[in-house]
Amino acid sequence: MGLKTLLGIKKYKWKRTIKKFVSRMEVLFPKYQWNDFYQVAEHFWRRGMSSLSERAFLFRLSRDLQDNAKIVEIGSWIGESTCILASGLKGTQAKMYAIDTFKGDASDYSARDRYKKRFSKLRTDNTKDIFDRNITHFNLKLRVTAIAADSLTAAKGFCESPNSIDLLFIDGDHSETATRNDIEAWLLYVKRGGIVIFHDFTSNHGVPQAIWWAIKRSYFSDLVGVYGTTIAFRVY
Ligand SMILES: C[S@@+](CC[C@H](N)C(=O)[O-])C[C@H]1O[C@@H](n2cnc3c(N)ncnc32)[C@H](O)[C@@H]1O
């Protein structure tokens, strides 16, 4: 069997998997427009960084926000989570800021090694062009502003005022120190009652320890939900 045929079969199977997943979501959560979700999930075939249930959780949290809400994402890579979150937003003034160096930064050596392999597959050493193409593909250019910078530098010069962000998605450097720094630098921009989501909340990263540190400081008032390695809290 040729490579093209094999890829065709795999893509067909992937589409079938998403369709089945979306049918289940339509029954469980009928108020959402799952076709928007389907389009993004299908587009990122073989390049996604998390499971469908985690993606669907992001989509629902974004769609549940008020009209013209604002989202900040730390760590965008090629833009899959950006497209999921941004396509969930409603209102012509809704805004999403996607912050990434686009260079696959990570404190952890093995994570850096994984990015190196991903870059080699993508035949680039910077994902900004791919990110831009994906944003354009979904017609999200007016809604999404990419900030190509280190997250702490971006926080210092951020254009929005404190307490103005409805949802913060932290998915950048997963070491405990970097995650804590992201919390410290960005939480002040999140509204009281807003949402903060962490990805890769697993024991092979420092994310759980950073979350525990934030819980002890009473930064969160409620647990919004957990899907796979994605966890969301409501901010005090
Ligand atoms: C796990 S990927 C993000 C995946 C993306 N959220 C998704 O789900 O499709 C992590 C990203 O964080 C970026 N990153 C790591 N450390 C960073 C930092 N200090 N500032 C900005 N971006 C950073 C990396 O370049 C990488 O693209």
Beta bridge partners of 167: 71, 195
The edge-to-edge listing of strands for the beta sheet with 230-235 is: 144-148, 95-100, 70-74, 165-170, 190-198, 230-235, 220-227
Decide: 88 in ligand 1 pocket, CB within 6 A: no
Q: What is the mean pLDDT of residues 21-28?
A: 97
φ/ψ of residue 220, rounded to 5: -115, 145
Which tokens in the block code for residue 176? Answer: 């405990």
Decide: 155 in ligand 1 pocket, CB within 6 A: no
pTM to 2 decimals?
0.96
Q: Is 44 domain-assigned?
A: no
Q: Is 64 domain-assigned?
A: yes
Decide: 49 in ligand 1 pocket, CB within 6 A: yes
Q: Is 20 domain-assigned?
A: no
Q: Specify the number of domains making up the chain.
A: 1
For all residues of the chain together, what is the average pLDDT?
Answer: 95
Give residue 121's domain range.
50-235
* Residue % of the chain over a pLDDT of 90: 89
Give residue 53's pLDDT.
95
Top pLDDT among 4 and 121 is at: 121
Q: What is the mean pLDDT of residues 77-84?
A: 97
Is pLDDT at 152 greater than 90 in this prediction? yes
Is pLDDT at 7 greater than 90 in this prediction? no
Q: Is 204 helix (H, G, I), strand (E, B) or coil?
A: coil
Give residue 3's pLDDT.
76
Compute the distance from residue 106 Cα to the ligand 1 centre, in Å.
8
Q: Is 115 domain-assigned?
A: yes
Is pLDDT at 72 greater than 90 in this prediction? yes
Helix, strand, coil percent values for the chain (each to nearest 5) = 45, 20, 35
Decide: 76 in ligand 1 pocket, CB within 6 A: yes
